[in-house]
Amino acid sequence: MLMLVLGKGKTGSLVAQIARERGHSVRVLDWKENANAGALTAPTLAHIDVVVDFTNAESAVENMRACLALGARVVVGTTGWYDKLPDMKALAIRKEGGLLYGTNFSIGVQKFFQLVSQLAGLRDYRFSISETHHSTKLDAPSGTALTLREILQARHPQAHIPITSHRDGDHSGLHVVLAAGDSDRIELRHEADDRRGFALGAVLAAEWLAGKSGAWDFREVVDQVLADHL
């Protein structure tokens, strides 16, 4: 598979490394080489199987528009752009491209989401979320924390579920969900030791997306992705 990775930051560079380790050919573009999505032309994308975006919210939207308009397949690990999600999904479907997006591509976090969904079944508990990321992360709360709140509010639509965000050093990511009852407290916690889990999940997602048309949240297809991987 030939993969195009957009973004030469820490996670994007690791995506490229892992993709090569898994036998894929990889091209990488940083923001200077792809200003305003100018490099994402029909000749550039002609032989690309999947594009993987780990840039920033503004660039990701421009990149998606350019790629999906040409019917390309795109995995988007960037967060902070979901106000444009309906437009991007519609474009993917109209142009018969492929869009796979997610607030977190770590397989461990995806299992964490499933555990939190079970925890959300509790009645008479008060829920809260805290998250810690590196000091350069721009969005707060994190997309992962917002997904956790979405999962909890699906079962408790009237509940106020606060999120506390911390930005500290080079922290790879810590998310804690607390359920507090009158007689006990339950805490679910996921902590990333490094970025490799996020990058590996994105590569597995790209392998799954190749040749497919449609639009999916990673949460919807993670079990299929894992089945293919195993």
- Residues with active-site annotation: 133, 137
One-letter amino acid at 33 equals: E
Q: Which two tokens stand for residue 223?
A: 């079990």
Q: In 22-97, which residue ranges form alpha helices assigned H by DSSP?
A: 42-45, 57-69, 85-94
Q: How far is CA 123 from CA 60, 111, 113, 120, 178, in A?
A: 39, 22, 18, 8, 14
Q: In 156-217, which residue ranges form alpha helices assigned H by DSSP?
A: 196-209
Residue with tokens 């408790």: 156
213 contacts 98 by C-beta, under 8 angstroms: yes
